[in-house]
Amino acid sequence: MSPNMQTRSTTTTAPLSLYHLLDPEVLADPYPLYRRLRTEAPVHWDPYLHAWVVTRYEDVVTVLHHFSANRTPTPEQFTAMGLAELGPIAQLMTRQMLFMDAPAHTRLRGLASMAFTPARVEALRSHIREIVDTLIEPLLRAGRMDVINDLAAPLPAIVTAEMLGVPTSDCDQLKAWSADFAEVLGNFQHNPDRASRTLKCVEEMTAYFRDAIRRMKTEPREGLINALMTAELDGDRLTEEEIIANCIVTMVGGQETTTNLIGNGVLSLIRNPDQLQRLRDDLSLIPSAVEELLRYESPSQHTARICPEDTQLGGKLIRKGQAVIAVMGAGNRDPERFPDPDRLDVGRTDNRHLAFGWASHFCFGAPLARIEGQLAFAALLRRTSNLSLEPGPIVWRENLGLRGLTALRVTFNEQLAPPPIEPTVEHSAGACPFHRGGTGSGSDRIIASSRREGSRRYRSGF
């Protein structure tokens, strides 16, 4: 039986459950499973995960908007489960705004967002273009590259280091830590084999950012760390532990989302040559193409919430305190929201996808990820032709929630680059022009340093 037939069998006859994502064949193409869930049981009690699984766009929005993000077990709860060794991970995650509700979330995000403006992100555009061009330039004559390791991973690692205000020479280490910690954020299963590595990662990251804070006190430099250290709202300031925890989650989110956007996006374009050619013929479509690629192969596939009170959703009663998994990857393919959702359309306009979340937890790094994606795709389209996959398997990372590739080896012909074309996009206060009927609740904000210190020290790969 072929792999495709095995996958089709798994997703059409086996018991409905997200645990099928543990099958590499299903992970490679989860959309038949999502379609079956959305069609047969859009609000489904998953007995294997002991959680509700929600897959329709409208229901996913409801969960993201109204259910509790305060879902991380405390150190005490881990101890009660016989997992006391995971206490340091819980201690860190319970301080991260990603896992908080108002008023704690409002306070933390309010202090951080005082330094986050779309204007500062836009000011980085020419600098990020320089980084992209410098990464791509040495690869062009070779006529081949690994999109992940040569471009999609180093680009956000360099930008994130600058954004934080740490040396860009540390970007290799930041990327390694990010990949390790992403295993905790993206998977719903406990993997005891990885626990010691994750604990070591948390210990090293904590020590690194504690040392960075200590240096900032005597040698301040622009960036997120300094912004969090100096942010003040009605006399309220962040503790050192809160600064460390939220630098870590910002570092991970800033790298994983962009790496997977670029990698998944290039693969999707190669697999849809008509859309690749359409984009080559009209580079002004790049902003809408980035939104469509985010929808089509979302870097963030699902997230968990806790039901705050007994709630009827999709004809099912969800009890207070029960876990709910909102599957953004399924909502982004919902035909009730997106016409012909399984078709890639780089010109799609009404495209309020769920890749960056919703409402108060809308990803405040979205503007930066969009700019990095736009510039990476523009450079590839301007500087290459005949972009093709090298022979060999496509391997997806074993991360069920943060969807990305281990590698993406391509061949191409070098193309003489015409002058960069700046797409004309009207920006309102943080809103994406392709998102109608929703703005992200004013949270499309991020800080980044426009300094050029260290920007010549990056390498073309890790």
Give pLDDT, residue 428. Answer: 40
How many angstroms separate the CA atoms of 444 and 145, rounded?
A: 32
Quote the tokens at residue 413: 């012909």
Q: What is the mean pLDDT of residues 137-141?
A: 93
294 confidence band (pLDDT: 50, 70, 90) = very high
Residue 117 reports pLDDT greater than 90? no
Q: What is the pLDDT of residues 300-331, one digit of tens each?
A: 999 999 999 999 999 999 999 999 999 999 99
pLDDT tens for 328-380 read: 999 999 999 999 999 999 999 999 999 998 877 777 788 889 999 999 999 99
Average pLDDT, rounded, for the chain: 84
For 397, list phi and psi in degrees, rounded to 5: -60, 150
For 96, list phi and psi in degrees, rounded to 5.
-90, 135
CA–CA separation, 103 vs 70, rounded Å?
12
Q: Of 132, 168, 169, which is closest to residue 152 (Cα–Cα)? A: 132
Contact 420, 378 (CB under 8 A): yes
Of 9-13, 35-39, 335-339, 385-389, minimum mean pLDDT range: 9-13
DSSP string, 355-376: TT--GGGS-TTHHHHHHHHHHH
* Tokens linked to 236: 């309220």
Neighbours of 393 (CB within 10 A): 9
Question: Do 422 and 281 contact (CB within 8 A), yes or no?
Answer: no
Q: Is the pLDDT of residue 268 over 50?
A: yes
Contact criterion met (CB below 8 Å) for 455 and 127:
yes
Domain ranges of the chain: 1-36, 41-414
Q: Which helix (H) or strand (E) holds 60?
A: helix 57-66
pLDDT in tens, 171-200: 999 999 998 888 877 665 556 677 788 889
pTM given for the model = 0.85
DSSP assignment string, 172-234 = HHHHHHHHHHHHHHH-SS--HHHHHHHHHHHHHHHHHHHHHHHHHHHS--SSHHHHHHH--BT
What does the chain come to in residues?
A: 462
Q: Which residue has the higher pLDDT, 72 or 243?
A: 243
- Is the CATH code 2.40.50.140 the one for domain 41-414? no
Residue 213 near residue 426, CB atoms below 8 Å: no
Tracing tokens 């489960």 back to the chain, one arrives at 81
Contacts of 339 (CB under 8 A, 6+ apart): none
Question: Between residues 119 and 434, which one has the greater pLDDT?
Answer: 119
